[in-house]
């Protein structure tokens, strides 16, 4: 699903919806979203077919896809139980609260043959977040040990934000920034704000 943020991207979406230059919507795990409503696949009364809900994306094993679906269902349950959300924001506030990552493209590490097209910083950030397969396992472990509620939500947020920070630092290093400088900047921002994690934002949770 496309998520254009500029006039150019809106036009690009009309000309070529699959263009990597048009930012996409992403799941909490960072996978590019294919359904308008991420909760539709979890609602037994939704018109989405069972085949559509279980269709495995390319480049992922059946076992990994099964675990990912289990995590997505768990996140949906947590979101409903805590009236919260887990989608990554378009702005990495601790780094630059004025920069919408959808509006700026990567300038380095562009190699379509290796699955790294020219794309927005947001798309690249989510791509690297999704590549961290330890994230799925960490959330499944939380599911096994914590019932839906505030403690589980806090643990899930910590896991998500740790993976997102690692992905963000990797991306910005590739863009030419010093890793130690990035980490210090993020730490100072969190210390000044009294925060320990990047806030998540709602995205079509529980609506059609």
Q: What's the pLDDT at 39?
A: 47
How confident is residue 46, by pLDDT bands cut at 50, 70 and 90? Answer: very low
Q: Does position 12 have pLDDT exceeding 90, yes or no?
A: no
Q: What's the pLDDT at 203?
A: 38
Whether residue 87 contacts residue 204, with contact meaning beta carbons closer than 8 Å, is answered with no
State both tokens at 123.
């798309």
Q: Does position 37 have pLDDT exceeding 50, yes or no?
A: no
Among the ranges given (6-15, 36-45, 82-91), the one the predictor scored with the smallest mean pLDDT: 36-45
72-91: per-residue pLDDT in tens? 999 999 998 888 889 999 99
Between 25 and 167, the higher pLDDT residue: 167
Domain ranges in the chain?
7-193
Q: What DSSP character marks residue 6?
A: S
Mean pLDDT over each residue of the chain, to the nearest integer: 79
Cα angle for residues 65, 20, 185 (degrees, 5° grid)? 85
DSSP-assigned states of every residue in 26-93: B-TTSPBP-SSSTTGGG-TTSSS-HHHHHPPPTTS-HHHHHHHHHHHHHHHHHHHHHT---BPPSS-T
């Amino acid at each position: 699903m496309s998520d254009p943020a500029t006039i150019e991207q809106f036009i690009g979406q009309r000309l070529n919806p699959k263009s990597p230059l048009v930012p996409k919507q992403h799941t909490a795990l960072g996978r590019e979203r294919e359904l308008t409503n991420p909760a539709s696949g979890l609602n037994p009364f939704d018109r989405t077919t069972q085949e559509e809900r279980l269709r495995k994306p390319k480049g992922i094993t059946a076992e990994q896809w099964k675990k990912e679906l289990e995590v997505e269902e768990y996140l949906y349950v947590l979101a409903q139980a805590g009236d919260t959300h887990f989608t990554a924001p378009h702005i990495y506030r601790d780094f630059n609260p004025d920069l919408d990552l959808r509006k700026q493209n990567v300038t380095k590490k562009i190699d379509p043959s290796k699955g790294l097209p020219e794309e927005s910083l947001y798309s690249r950030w989510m791509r690297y977040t999704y590549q961290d397969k330890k994230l799925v396992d960490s959330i499944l472990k939380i599911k096994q040990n914590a019932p839906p509620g505030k403690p589980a939500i806090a643990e899930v947020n910590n896991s998500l934000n740790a993976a997102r920070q690692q992905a963000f630092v990797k991306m910005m290093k590739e863009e030419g920034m010093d890793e130690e400088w990035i980490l210090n900047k993020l730490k100072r921002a969190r210390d000044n704000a009294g925060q320990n994690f990047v806030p998540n934002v709602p995205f079509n949770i529980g609506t059609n």
